[in-house]
Structure 1
Amino acid sequence: MQSFRERLQAFNKCVCDGARLMVGQGDYGTYVAHIAKTHPDQAPMTEREFFRNRENARFGVGNSSGFRCC
């Protein structure tokens, strides 16, 4: 059985992960686990590259349509 502190930490992680996803910033650890499982021949992006990639996707960098807010 989990202690109150463990449950609170799990809840906090869930809230933080949800907030990151709402603003287009995925979880780097989840990304690395996904790459290791489904693309073992590929090296994962660094954390900095991952952050930049998500930011670019969020704001439409490289799109022919230009800036994309939402």
Structure 2
Amino acid sequence: MLNRIIRAGRYVNQSLRLMVGVPEYSAYVTHMANVHPDQPVMSYEKFFRERQEARYGGNGKISRCC
């Protein structure tokens, strides 16, 4: 029972992080290890910057009306 509660808490945490735009680094690392083992894994800082640029646009430009 406790394991189910912990697992549910992790899913809720991951969902909330994705809703506010904070990507899951551990999921990225796991994906890279399983699917792309020949490619290097980005550091957390580089991963975070890349995700922010992908979400909000690069070069300091904001591509939305407000």
TM-score, scaled relative to structure 1 = 0.72
Which residue is equivalent to 2:25?
Answer: 28
Structure 2: 5+ residue stretches without partners: none
Q: CA deviation at 1:31?
A: 0.5
Alignment pair present for 1:47 and 2:56: no
TM-score, scaled relative to structure 2 = 0.75
Q: CA deviation at 1:62?
A: 3.8
- Cα deviations by residue, 1:11-58 (Å, 9 ceiling, x for unpaired): 111111001111222211111111112211111111121112112222
Structure 1: 5+ residue stretches without partners: none
Which residue is equivalent to 1:12?
Answer: 9
Question: Equivalent residue of 2:58, what SS?
Answer: coil
Identity %: 38
Q: Where in structure 1 do 4 or more consecutive aligned residues deviate above 4 Å?
A: none
Count the aligned residue pairs: 64
Alignment pair present for 1:67 and 2:62: yes
8 Å contact kept, 1:58–1:68: no
CA-atom RMSD in angstroms? 1.9
